[in-house]
């Protein structure tokens, strides 16, 4: 009998690959083990064993596993099950999931040796950076990344190397050596055990070397207090040079050793740092617990600033007291120091923060800590934290569950971390709590139908009132020629008053929709698609308007069909222009701008927030970033500069996002004993959406949207699968997409839309077409997938389509 292992390769290949296990390795190869295997002629990869089994022989001879990287599996059986679900549901390969799941330090990327693929067919065009790297490579002698960087003169060649590997222009020959290194510090200890008398004798003996004697005494003194004496501490305390220390080491009294330190030493857990809940929070807490007894998933629908975090903290406390682990998910951008500090204060070194801005070693350390079930019990993380190796997960919290940034767009797996977390929790028999002030329509539907429990919290902490929302009709003001700037007179007045009282102001401008729409300057008419009820996107290059959903194109009308004047204009303005106007209006006030451009640096985002927190800046101008989980206590005015460009965004979720954004941004206003004031500037003051925002009436907004979703066949009534077809040749791409769509129509009929051109229809010289599938929610998704794959295999068996790339985006957002 031989032991065989089916492994997952870190490649976008469907299926598993089988290798045999050498006799001497059979005890160290298990499901979840990390192994090095050869794949192709010369390529070596770190693979993960998916399963092992005994068999006499296989029909096809297979290669043997080259090396097993460690004695213990690095992924748990539960994780492998989870990966399998992600790959199946999101229609990608297990290799895609493996690549997303493991921190790259565990994928050995930094020690990676790179080779040129001599069989590379120039089917894929290379970028300049890729070309530079490509010409440094050789097919016979592997080069390290460092060498390549030197040769190519690039300071960071890793991304280019990665994409070359993806394009199969280069391949990786990985070094067996593990790149991951724990951070360590040099510490000092006695070379052997000495008796009291012996120690005194040493001190006497050192009598003539005063410096060494002093150093030795200080060491004994420190050593009496703590078993860990760091070299640095000792030298600092003694004010001594390392020369004296080397003498003592040479004489054999002391010795050095490496002390491994955790990077996550947040100090002791201090459960008392948790606040007492007020009566409303306590009631919600009790209801959540009761609900979770019965249901696996519960929605906490609590208004902004109701103190949801404190409720989570209490729930986490209870879970860890029972020895359970907790996963607390937040959208990346909401993972600010505000929230991490709050949790650190309570959970100390039981807490780990898992974040894409951390380096790989830090992430690998959290991975290993959880795998070995050491001190970490709470992980606060962005979406990729769902892939960590939990062993006793008891509770998952998804805060701001409505956030679209939970969805990974690129690359595969294109998963929604909220939904994946729910599945992870159910695999672990854990409970899930979703929290938000503005539930996603899908989530609220589930809560109303009873699939999820529902707990409401309608009081803000300290009974601060929800802000008052003043709707400003800018169309009317424009007509009366009173709009002298982007800020309306009432908003300017409000700001003046607030600033004079040393209160702060937030101005919000939606980033999306910048100059991509047309609007009539006279009557505010905007063009919509005849088939899809979304507004059209203006494509400057083509002088066309396009519907992003069905792909229909429209001519640009010469005059406005509504009011018949020739005043169609592109719409939208950026935060930069607002900043300019604000500094002119308030020259003596300190203004900060927070958007993608001003927050590129690692720390800049936090600096802008802390300056504002400390009242160093008085006006904060920003995009959606200012709406995310921030808690300021001196903001009395919020200005929403243009509500309309959120509504006109060509996406069926535009209204939902607009409602969420406006509610969240408004939620930043309001201080103790004082109600906040929001100025909402719009050309459509009477629209039902604006009035539901004004009344803070989620329910009526929900009803309204659900009707539209039903009529136009969108989620939550329908499930969407977007099929993305890409190719170098536009004609070929187009015909592949058409053929695939018409094949799909044989099964799915009018549920198939397209193919259409996406807004950016050519990326990196690849032409792109989208096919959208709308499937009734009650349909078996399993059968749907099977049928799609069937049509795919038939259509793409055509050798003409060999170079066409295809991928799926399930539940696109």
Phi, psi (rounded to 5 degrees) for 795: -65, -45
Does 310 interact with ligand ADP (rule: CB under 6 A)? yes
Give the range of 4-12, 37-45, 276-284, 362-370 binding ligand ADP by CB under 6 A.
276-284
Give the range of 275-283, 323-331, 527-535, 618-626 binding ligand ADP by CB under 6 A.
275-283
Give the range of 5-13, 76-84, 184-192, 308-316 binding ligand ADP by CB under 6 A.
308-316
Which of 767, 686, 680, 777 is CA-nearest to residue 731? Answer: 767
Q: Looking at beta carbons only, is 80 or 311 nearer to ligand ADP?
A: 311
Q: Looking at beta carbons only, is 654 or 662 nearer to ligand ADP?
A: 662
Residue 429, CA distances (Å) to 97, 292, 315, 423, 733 in order: 22, 12, 16, 10, 45
Which of 416, 358, 654 is CA-nearest to residue 516? Answer: 654
Cβ of residue 422: shortest distance to ligand ADP, in angstroms?
Answer: 20
| Residue 384 DSSP SS3 | helix
Q: Are 380 and 351 in contact (CB under 8 A)?
A: yes
Does 309 interact with ligand ADP (rule: CB under 6 A)? yes
Which residue has the closest beta carbon to ligand ADP?
307
Q: Which of 79, 212, 269, 281 lies at the binding interface for ligand ADP (CB under 6 A)?
A: 281
Cβ of residue 643: shortest distance to ligand ADP, in angstroms?
Answer: 22
Q: Are 730 and 761 in contact (CB under 8 A)?
A: no
Compute how many other C-beta atoms are within 10 angstroms of the C-beta atom of residue 124. 19
Q: Which one of Zn ion, ligand ADP, none is in contact with 660 (Cβ closer than 5 to 8 A by kind)? A: none
Residue 593, CA distances (Å) to 52, 318, 621, 678, 711 in order: 56, 41, 5, 19, 40
The interface with ligand ADP within residues 622-681 (CB under 6 A) comprises 631
Does 130 interact with ligand ADP (rule: CB under 6 A)? no
| Residue 536 DSSP SS3 | coil
Does 302 interact with ligand ADP (rule: CB under 6 A)? yes
Helices 210-225 and 242-250: angle between axes, nearest 10 degrees? 80
Residue 416, CA distances (Å) to 89, 383, 451, 767, 808 in order: 11, 8, 19, 26, 14
Helix (H) or strand (E) holding 170: strand 170-173
The interface with ligand ADP within residues 433-462 (CB under 6 A) comprises 461
Q: Looking at beta carbons only, is 94 or 277 nearer to ligand ADP?
A: 277
| Residue 798 DSSP SS3 | coil
Cβ of residue 477: shortest distance to Zn ion, in angstroms?
Answer: 17
**Helix %, strand %, coil % of the chain (to 5):** 40, 20, 40
Does 304 interact with ligand ADP (rule: CB under 6 A)? yes
What are the residues binding Zn ion (CB under 5 A)? 520, 522-523, 525, 529, 531-532, 547, 549-550, 552, 560, 562-563
Q: Looking at beta carbons only, is 427 or 523 nearer to Zn ion?
A: 523
Q: What is the DSSP letter of 327?
A: E
Q: What is the DSSP letter of 64?
A: B
Q: Which of 34, 43, 143, 308 lies at the binding interface for ligand ADP (CB under 6 A)?
A: 308
Helix (H) or strand (E) holding 169: none
Cβ of residue 310: shortest distance to ligand ADP, in angstroms?
Answer: 4
Q: Which one of Zn ion, ligand ADP, none is in contact with 302 (Cβ closer than 5 to 8 A by kind)? A: ligand ADP
Does 306 interact with ligand ADP (rule: CB under 6 A)? yes
Cβ of residue 682: shortest distance to Zn ion, in angstroms?
Answer: 16
Phi, psi (rounded to 5 degrees) for 603: -100, -10
Q: Which one of Zn ion, ligand ADP, none is in contact with 196 (Cβ closer than 5 to 8 A by kind)? A: none
Does 307 interact with ligand ADP (rule: CB under 6 A)? yes
Cβ of residue 709: shortest distance to Zn ion, in angstroms?
Answer: 16
Give the range of 24-32, 160-168, 175-183, 269-277 binding ligand ADP by CB under 6 A.
269-277
| Residue 440 DSSP SS3 | coil
Cβ of residue 457: shortest distance to ligand ADP, in angstroms?
Answer: 8
Q: Looking at beta carbons only, is 143 or 342 nearer to ligand ADP?
A: 342
Q: Looking at beta carbons only, is 188 or 545 nearer to Zn ion?
A: 545
Does 275 interact with ligand ADP (rule: CB under 6 A)? yes
| Residue 76 DSSP SS3 | coil
Which residues have C-beta within 8 Å of that of residue 174, sequence separation ≥ 6? 36, 44, 45, 46, 108, 111, 112, 113
Q: Which one of ligand ADP, Zn ion, none is in contact with 523 (Cβ closer than 5 to 8 A by kind)? A: Zn ion
Give the range of 160-168, 307-315, 411-419, 779-787 binding ligand ADP by CB under 6 A.
307-315
The interface with ligand ADP within residues 457-496 (CB under 6 A) comprises 461
Q: Looking at beta carbons only, is 20 or 309 nearer to ligand ADP?
A: 309
Please compute Rg for the chain using Cα positions: 30
Which residues have C-beta within 8 Å of that of residue 178, sequence separation ≥ 6? 69, 70, 108, 111
- In this structure, are strands 518-520 and 254-260 parallel, antiparallel, or unpaired? unpaired
Q: Looking at beta carbons only, is 500 or 673 nearer to ligand ADP?
A: 673
Give the range of 100-108, 274-282, 683-691, 763-771 binding ligand ADP by CB under 6 A.
274-282
Cβ of residue 648: shortest distance to Zn ion, in angstroms?
Answer: 14
Q: Specify burial of residue 520 (Cβ count, 10 A radius: 0-12, 13-18, 19+).
A: buried
What residue ranges bind ligand ADP (CB under 6 A)?
A: 275-278, 281, 302, 304-310, 461, 631
């Amino acid at each position: 009998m031989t032991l065989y292992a089916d492994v997952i390769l870190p490649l976008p290949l469907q299926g598993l690959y089988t290798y045999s296990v050498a006799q001497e390795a059979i005890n160290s190869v298990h499901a979840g083990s990390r192994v090095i295997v050869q794949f192709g002629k010369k390529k070596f990869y770190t693979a993960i064993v998916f399963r092992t089994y005994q068999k006499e022989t296989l029909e096809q001879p297979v290669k043997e596993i080259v090396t097993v990287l460690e004695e213990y599996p690095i992924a748990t059986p539960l994780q492998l099950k989870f990966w399998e679900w992600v790959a199946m549901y999101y229609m990608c390969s297990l290799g895609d999931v493996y690549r997303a799941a493991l921190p790259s330090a565990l994928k050995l990327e930094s020690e990676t040796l790179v080779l040129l693929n001599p069989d590379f067919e120039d089917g894929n065009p290379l970028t300049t950076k890729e070309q530079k790297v490509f010409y440094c490579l050789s097919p016979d002698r592997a080069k390290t990344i460092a060498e390549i960087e030197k040769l190519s003169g690039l300071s960071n060649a890793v991304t280019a190397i990665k994409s070359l590997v993806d394009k199969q222009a280069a391949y990786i020959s990985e070094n067996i050596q593990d790149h991951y290194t724990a951070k360590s510090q040099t510490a000092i200890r006695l070379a052997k055990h000495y008796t009291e008398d012996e120690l005194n004798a040493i001190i006497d003996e050192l009598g003539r070397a005063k410096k060494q004697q002093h150093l030795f005494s200080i060491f004994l003194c420190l050593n009496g207090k703590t078993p860990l004496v760091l070299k640095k501490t000792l030298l600092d305390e003694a004010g001594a040079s390392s020369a004296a220390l080397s003498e003592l080491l040479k004489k054999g009294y002391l010795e050095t050793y490496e002390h491994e330190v955790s990077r996550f030493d947040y100090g002791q857990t201090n459960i008392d740092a948790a606040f007492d809940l007020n009566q409303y929070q306590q009631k919600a807490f009790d209801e959540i617990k009761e609900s979770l007894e019965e249901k696996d998933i519960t929605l906490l629908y609590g208004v902004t600033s109701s103190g949801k975090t404190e409720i989570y903290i209490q729930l986490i406390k209870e879970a860890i007291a029972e020895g359970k682990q907790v996963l607390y998910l937040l959208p990346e951008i909401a993972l600010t120091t505000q929230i991490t500090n709050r949790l650190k204060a309570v959970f100390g070194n039981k807490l780990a923060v898992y974040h894409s801005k951390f380096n790989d070693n830090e992430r690998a350390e959290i991975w290993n800590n959880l795998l070995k079930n050491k001190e970490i019990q709470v992980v606060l993380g962005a979406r990729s934290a769902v892939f960590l190796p939990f062993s006793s997960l008891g509770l998952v919290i998804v805060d701001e569950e409505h956030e679209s940034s939970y969805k990974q767009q690129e690359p595969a797996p294109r998963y929604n971390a909220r939904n994946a977390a729910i599945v992870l929790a159910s695999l672990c028999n854990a409970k899930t709590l979703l929290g938000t002030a503005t539930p996603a329509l899908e989530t609220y539907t589930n809560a109303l139908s009873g699939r999820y429990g529902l707990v409401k919290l309608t009081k803000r902490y300290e009974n601060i009132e929800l802000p008052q929302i003043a709707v400003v009709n800018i169309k009317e003001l424009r007509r009366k020629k009173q709009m002298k700037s982007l800020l309306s007179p009432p908003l300017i007045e409000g700001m003046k008053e607030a600033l004079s009282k040393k209160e702060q102001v937030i101005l919000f401008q939606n980033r999306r929709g910048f100059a991509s729409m047309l609007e009539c300057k006279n009557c505010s008419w905007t063009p919509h698609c005849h088939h899809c009820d979304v507004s059209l996107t203006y494509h400057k290059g083509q002088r066309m308007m396009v519907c992003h959903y069905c792909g229909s194109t429209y001519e640009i009308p010469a005059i406005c069909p509504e009011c018949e004047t020739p005043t169609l204009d592109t719409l939208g303005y950026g935060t930069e222009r607002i900043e300019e106007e604000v500094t002119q209006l308030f020259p003596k006030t300190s203004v900060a701008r927070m958007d993608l451009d001003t927050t590129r640096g690692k720390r800049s985002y936090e600096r802008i927030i802390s300056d504002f927190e400390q009242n160093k800046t008085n006006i904060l101008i920003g995009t959606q970033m200012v709406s995310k989980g921030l808690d300021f206590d001196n903001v009395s005015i919020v200005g929403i500069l243009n509500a309309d460009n959120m509504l006109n965004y060509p996406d069926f979720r535009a209204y939902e996002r607009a409602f969420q954004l406006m509610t969240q941004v408004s939620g930043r206003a309001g201080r103790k004993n004082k109600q906040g004031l929001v100025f909402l500037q719009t050309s459509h003051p009477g629209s039902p959406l604006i009035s539901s925002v004004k009344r803070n009436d989620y329910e009526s907004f929900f009803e309204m949207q659900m009707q539209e979703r039903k009529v136009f066949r969108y989620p939550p009534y329908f499930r969407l699968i977007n099929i993305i077809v890409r190719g170098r040749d536009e004609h070929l791409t187009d015909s592949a997409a058409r053929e695939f769509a018409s094949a799909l129509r044989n099964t799915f009929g009018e549920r198939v839309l397209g193919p259409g051109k996406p807004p950016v229809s050519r990326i990196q010289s690849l032409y792109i077409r989208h096919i959208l599938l709308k499937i009734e929610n009650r349909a078996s998704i399993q059968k749907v997938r099977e049928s799609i794959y069937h049509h795919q295999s038939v259509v793409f068996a055509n050798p003409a389509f060999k170079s066409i790339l295809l991928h799926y985006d399930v539940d696109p957002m």
